Amino acid sequence: MTEDRFFDKLREDCTQLRYEPRDGALWARLPGRIRDRIHNQPSVSQMLARWFRPITVAFAALSIVAALSVTWIEHIRETAYAVEAMGSNSLEITVDGDTFNLTAAE
Amino acid sequence: MFTVQSEVDRTPADSDLIEQRAIAAVKTGDADSYDYLVSKYMKRVVSIAWGIVRNAHDAEDLAQEAFVKAFQTIARFKPGEPFGPWIYRIVTNLALDVIKHRQRFRHEEVSDALPATRGDRADLPAVTNELGRRIDAAIESLPEMQRIVARLFLVENFEHAEIAAMTSLSEGTVRSHLSLARAKLRERLADLYEGSHD
């Protein structure tokens, strides 16, 4: 048998390998699924919403993180000012007529 | 809505004309006319997808995806062209993407893992005899692209040029894959075909 004859014969025998689903309902189900998809195509506003929603969420998350960061930095700065103010001013305490002067250690 | 005639009553020329009318109707916004194209091509589209991915659920999903994609881009479809080659190309490309994804996933798995099977042999109800099972196993044992090209040629009966258009390979590459596949299949199926002189 020649190569070509072999391949022709094989091609004839291969027709039985075409897919035939066990699930016969597929041929009714598939057009229904396709119909549902094409009849529920998103409108332009839905398409835009689908794009913009994640972007909006990302911006909102960034804004929250930025606001929290600024608040925290401000809080740290205020604490540092208070310690600095205490350190730069001496404090006098009088006990039984004796005056003690408290200054921050260098 | 576009009326769908029985396939039995229709000549090929009628069928082409109806198809062109259905495409034109879909382009003007009549989505119901798309049913005709779906019913005409779905069996072949599912068969092509299944032949590549070898999994019934994936084949159904791919067929659905291909028809939806074709619908969404039908405005770009050239008038007068047959719908078949276009939808076959779409489903083949989608199925090849699934194969590539599976290969990438397989590469990422640990090297000692068992090789993943291509599909579910239980999905092969048409093959009821030994000859069919042997041929199917021989085709499945081919390297990936040889297997896909051989299947499109032998099982789906596409010609070289059609396979080239569907797979985005050159016709020469398709012939080369087929030639290699033929040599391997002849060797693996020698006991079935070498004795026959017809």
Chain segment B94-121, per-residue pLDDT in tens: 999 999 988 877 766 554 444 444 455 5
Specify the DSSP class assigned to residue B113: S
* Distance between A47 CA and the closest CA of chain B, angstroms: 14
The confidence score (pLDDT) of residue B194 equals 75
* Residue from A1, A15, A30 to probe the interface with B (highest B Cβ count within 10 Å): A30
The confidence score (pLDDT) of residue A20 equals 84
What Rg value do the Cα atoms of chain A yield, rounded? 40
The confidence score (pLDDT) of residue A1 equals 65
Q: How far is CA B33 from the centre of its chain?
A: 24
Q: Do domains B1-118 and B124-198 have the same CATH topology?
A: no
Give me the residues of chain A with pLDDT under 50, please. none
For β-strands A98-102 and A91-95, DSSP reports them as: antiparallel
Residue A99's DSSP bridge partners are: A94
The confidence score (pLDDT) of residue B197 equals 47
> Can you tell me the distance from the alpha carbon of B42 to that of B47, in angstroms, rounded to the nearest whole number?
8
Q: For chain A, what is the domain count?
A: 1
Residue boundaries of the structural domains of chain B: 1-118, 124-198
The domain B124-198: what is its CATH number? 1.10.10.10
Phi/psi for A105 (5° steps) reads: -70, 140
| Residue type, position A17, single letter | L
B63, B126, B197 member nearest A20 (Cβ):
B126
Which residues of chain B make contact with A30, given a CB cutoff of 8 A?
38, 42, 46, 60, 63-64
The confidence score (pLDDT) of residue B114 equals 45
Asked whether the beta carbons of residue B126 and residue A18 sit closer than 8 angstroms, the reply is yes
Enclosing H/E stretch for B51 = helix B34-53
Give the contacts of A10 (CB within 8 A, at least 6 positions apart). B135, B154, B185, B189, B193
Give me the residues of chain B with pLDDT under 50, please. 4-5, 8, 111-118, 122, 125, 197-198
Chain segment B58-84, per-residue pLDDT in tens: 999 999 999 999 999 999 888 888 999
Specify the DSSP class assigned to residue B143: -
Is this complex's ipTM strictly greater than 0.95?
no
The confidence score (pLDDT) of residue B145 equals 94
> Can you tell me the distance from the alpha carbon of B113 to that of B109, in angstroms, rounded to the nearest whole number?
7
Asked whether the beta carbons of residue B38 and residue A34 sit closer than 8 angstroms, the reply is yes
A6, A19, A37 member nearest B51 (Cβ):
A19
Residue B147 CB neighbours (<10 A): 21
A50 interfaces chain B, CB cutoff of 8 Å? no
Q: How far is CA B65 from the centre of its chain?
A: 14
Nearest residue on chain A to B137, alpha-carbon basis? A17
Q: What is the domain extent for residue A50?
A: 3-102
Within a 13 Å sphere around the CA of B59, how many CA atoms are in the beta-carbon half?
Answer: 26
Q: Does domain B1-118 have CATH number 1.10.1740.10?
A: yes
* Distance between B151 CA and the closest CA of chain A, angstroms: 9
